[in-house]
Chains A and B, each alone.
Chain A
């Protein structure tokens, strides 16, 4: 680890104090799946940290390895086989109406992105979005900040669709176009994260709503009203429906977590 540190910073940690700063690492949660790790799209299984199933309000170190191994070793070999046993795979042709519909959607999106020819790069807009998220949707959040953030994200998104520039074409490999497509998704994800944080009027784990804390600054949970997993269903642009998955504890008694 000290070697890695020296490679990155150019300073010897044995001689000068180490520089430590917080950094965005992972997002908590992920795609909704059932107990078989299948998403709401039949046949589409989501494994590892891409799904929501193992994260609580916190994500502990090495979760990526743990969840990848657990899902890959212990769950999917049994549940996917079960799904395949009930499914008769047939040859799917590209003239299937659903395929044609999606192919057209992708082509239209690509053409739309390429035709904007504005003045700002994808990277520039991505960094602006990152800054907004960093400022108001980090560990500490509050109502005013989150409301402002949702507005700001919508503004950057609007700016993106008016003023982004993507050189190259959609006919061969185009990494700028790939990044643009991903940024379009990030606008959606960022807004949903802010919305979810706004909706959850309590503090728990990595979500610290500044309005909800004890006098000594410890996180104040509200188990009566928020003891659920929030699963947001996509219902069109800027619209999501909330499904609450209740958290039921049979053996463990919920208590205030204290590190003191």
Chain B
């Protein structure tokens, strides 16, 4: 049996490009509670296009919560009100009939709006290019049991590597800081043997690029962890800060 449709008022941010001034536009929609948030936007776009209006631009790819492409600020929360999910995994049954929903792009100086709800997150790629890799040749693949890594350590590295780089941490931080993202990337290498040779060089370079791109500083409010769809822990930030301090003592490089 088809569930009763919800009547919703959507206030969606419309902005022609990075240079123009944006504003909210109001749309009334009727949607099935089983629809996902993005499916609702697809339907709305279909009706807009039929009227000859431009579609609301937003990004998505896998729609399975694993790629990190989607990202909307819904009622003030990055990826919507539910914890530990990406926008694509948010379903309309979590909203009430007659509710008004506010939809905005991820807002940060380092994430300029491209159009409507679509932002340019290529800054994250630039940060990764500065150190998100292992450039030493580790030879062939050894037997898994031959690498003595404690379970606790490998688990921490895997938890850090769960970051999908969506940028929700930046969007939810009052300073638009990218510390959670960068620290997750730094940690996933710093915890494992393969990451050791470049450990201190890596953290210095990535932090430098992060600062240069205009991401803010961390003031330990932990909004990032609360909104992160993958539940990345702020203890990664502590680890990165520790490595960064050590790098200042150990690193041979003065500046990159």
Contacts and interface: CB of A to CB of B under 8 A. Distances in A.
Interface of A: 4, 7-10, 119, 121-124, 165-168, 172-176
A167 B46 contact: no
A123 B34 CA distance: 19
B239 interface: no
Contacts of B55: 167-168, 175-176
Contacts, number: 50
Interface of B: 16-17, 33-34, 42, 45-46, 48-50, 52-55, 57, 65, 82, 85, 89, 91, 93, 114-115, 118
B57 A121 contact: no
Contacts of B82: 7
A81 B50 CA distance: 50
Contacts of B57: 173, 175
B91 A122 contact: no
Contact of B34 (A4, A10, A165, A175): A10
Nearest to B42: A123
A10 B17 contact: no
Contacts of A168: 54-55
Given A123-B42, A172-B115, A173-B57, A167 B49 contact: yes
Contacts of A176: 45, 49, 54-55
Contacts of B65: 4
Nearest to B64: A4
A7 B82 CA distance: 10
B54 A167 contact: yes
B115 A122 contact: no
Interface centre among A9, A119, A168, A174 (most CB of B within 10 A): A168
Nearest to A123: B46
A176 B53 CA distance: 11
A167 B48 CA distance: 9
A172 B17 contact: yes
Given A10-B34, A10-B91, A175-B57, A123 B45 contact: yes
Contact of B46 (A4, A9, A124, A166): A124
A119 B49 CA distance: 9
17 contacts: A4-B65, A7-B85, A10-B93, A119-B50, A121-B49, A121-B50, A122-B49, A123-B45, A123-B49, A124-B46, A165-B49, A165-B50, A165-B52, A166-B49, A168-B55, A172-B115, A173-B114
Contacts of B33: 10
Contacts of A166: 49
Given A10-B34, A124-B46, A165-B50, A173 B89 contact: no
Interface centre among B33, B48, B53, B55 (most CB of A within 10 A): B55
A81 to B, nearest CB: 14
9 nearest interchain CB pairs? A168-B54, A121-B49, A173-B115, A167-B54, A176-B55, A123-B46, A10-B93, A121-B46, A175-B57
